[in-house]
Structure 1
């Protein structure tokens, strides 16, 4: 197992290098930048600023300098916010992590429970109702679903706040802070769960239906094992194997998919500043956030490989 993990760790090094090259050259070759988009600058001042930030140098030299900065933990300097990108992302990224992780825990738990029950009762009234609800939730555009939730729960019923992370001017601490943040977190988490849980539920259902038809499940039942033990200990563990592969893509996909949700609910996360930086063409911020998503995908796949090897020992022997 240790050698397997070591090989996977070494394989991430060229992947991270390739990801950094792709991200840099895609943004560097994109026409225009923050300075070009500022119409208040004279041509002389724009040329002076490009020389100051090194934007007039050859691409290979700029990439080498950017890569050297990355190895020192420096993501560059935001031209829009006039602050280091690492400081800017560190200020917002943990709020995005909070939203993403809470939503991920909820929709994985819901998808697991509902998917298993649907697979145990295929074509029942429960299975048909779940299918209708899943496709209904998935058919809503993100922005429309978010606005609909705001209208129902915040405007009409006054149960939850419209947006943000805390009340304006709030100085809550301790459990009062936790309760206040949880109330503001409810609507964006509900939106993400409704959008993400449907497809994952279908994956769980399809995987469980395939496993429960296998010979070893019939053998376990023939030996007189309780149905709960057959499902939880034998069927579910094997059904989780193909689902583990999805885990590597879940967190980066959730981060990128939450951009619109964070903007609509005014959640102070990295997605909020990502959209603003995209409009201002602040490429250092965009490169830093995109690199963060790429690293999440790489490390998520590494985690999925380790979990897969733990669940299926045959993987370590290949």
Structure 2
């Protein structure tokens, strides 16, 4: 397993390099740069001042020289400097990665657990009213945009009934510490996590239902029942483990889209994570910060996919890591 993980991490290096190069050029296709933004915020500036800013930020050099310099810096774990925030990119990302990880892990856990449970309930009651109701709700969750869900939850539970806070990660004015702070963060986390997880709950519910129904028709199920094993043991001891494999596959594939969805949710709820930071950096044309966020996000997705591959071997002992 150690050899497998090491090999996967080494194989990820070309992927990260490709992402770095593509993101570097794609972000620079848009007109304007951080010098134009800063000049515009000051109410206008002369061309000489804008040119001085470009020289200060290294934007007067050719793109290939800028790219070579950036790759060299990344190779030494230096993600550059955010001139807009007057901070190192690594420090900015480090200060925001915690809230994003909390949001993603919470949403991921909610999606997996509820998706599996609802899928099992639907499969055990196939073509019954419960199955039809779960299928209807999952279809609505699948078709509803994330930002609309977030706005509706704010309207209902924050503005109308005032149950949950509208934005932020905690009540700064309360100066909470210890367990009180954890409870405050958890309370702020409810609406963003629910908004982000609804779509994935629908996906995993439908996938779990179809996977269970497919596995229940396999020959090994008929053989196990013919040997006299109880139906519950056959379902939860054999069918369920095999039905979980497509869920793990989908989870590994969709973790990247969940990270992208967190940008929308963090913007709607003012959640101070990497998604909101990327949103702010985009409008500020802070390309160093944007590229750094893309690299860190790519590394997170790759690491999670390695974990998913290891879980494959845990769930199904027939799979060997090579």
TM-score of the superposed pair, with normalisation by structure 2: 0.92
Between 152-161 and 98-107, the greater mean CA deviation after superposition: 152-161
Which residue of 2 is the match for residue 249 of structure 1? 253
Partner secondary structure for residue 173 of structure 2: coil
Contact (CA 8 Å) 2:310, 2:321: kept in 1 or not?
no
Aligned pair count?
Answer: 318
Which residue of 1 is the match for residue 94 of structure 2? 90
Shift of 1:149: 1.0
Q: C-alpha separation between the residues in 2 aligned to 1:267 and 1:310? A: 34
Shift of 1:168: 4.1
**Which of 45, 52, 62 is 1:48 aligned to?**
52
Shift of 1:62: 1.3
Between 287-296 and 124-133, the greater mean CA deviation after superposition: 287-296
Q: CA RMSD in A?
A: 1.9
Which residue of 2 is the match for residue 145 of structure 1? 149
Shift of 1:230: 1.1
Instruction: State yes or no: 1:36 paired with 2:36.
Output: yes
Q: 1:317 to 1:103 in 2, by over 3 A?
A: closer
Partner secondary structure for residue 224 of structure 2: helix
Contact (CA 8 Å) 1:166, 1:180: kept in 2 or not?
yes
Unaligned runs of 5+ residues in structure 1 are none
Contact (CA 8 Å) 2:192, 2:265: kept in 1 or not?
yes
**Which ranges of 4 or more aligned residues in structure 1 deviate by more than 3 Å?**
1-7, 309-318
Shift of 1:182: 1.2
Instruction: State yes or no: 1:292 paired with 2:290.
Output: no
Instruction: State yes or no: 1:13 paired with 2:17.
Output: no
**Which of 164, 167, 174 is 2:171 aligned to?**
167
Shift of 1:137: 2.5
Shift of 1:2: 4.5
1:1-318 paired onto structure 2 within 5 Å = 1-37=1-37, 38-39=39-40, 40-312=44-316, 315-316=319-320
Q: 1:2 to 1:151 in 2, by over 3 A?
A: closer
Contact (CA 8 Å) 1:95, 1:269: kept in 2 or not?
yes
Shift of 1:315: 4.6
Q: C-alpha separation between the residues in 2 aligned to 1:89 and 1:125? A: 48
Unaligned runs of 5+ residues in structure 2 are none
Q: C-alpha separation between the residues in 1 aligned to 2:254 and 2:260? A: 10
TM-score of the superposed pair, with normalisation by structure 1: 0.93
Shift of 1:261: 1.4
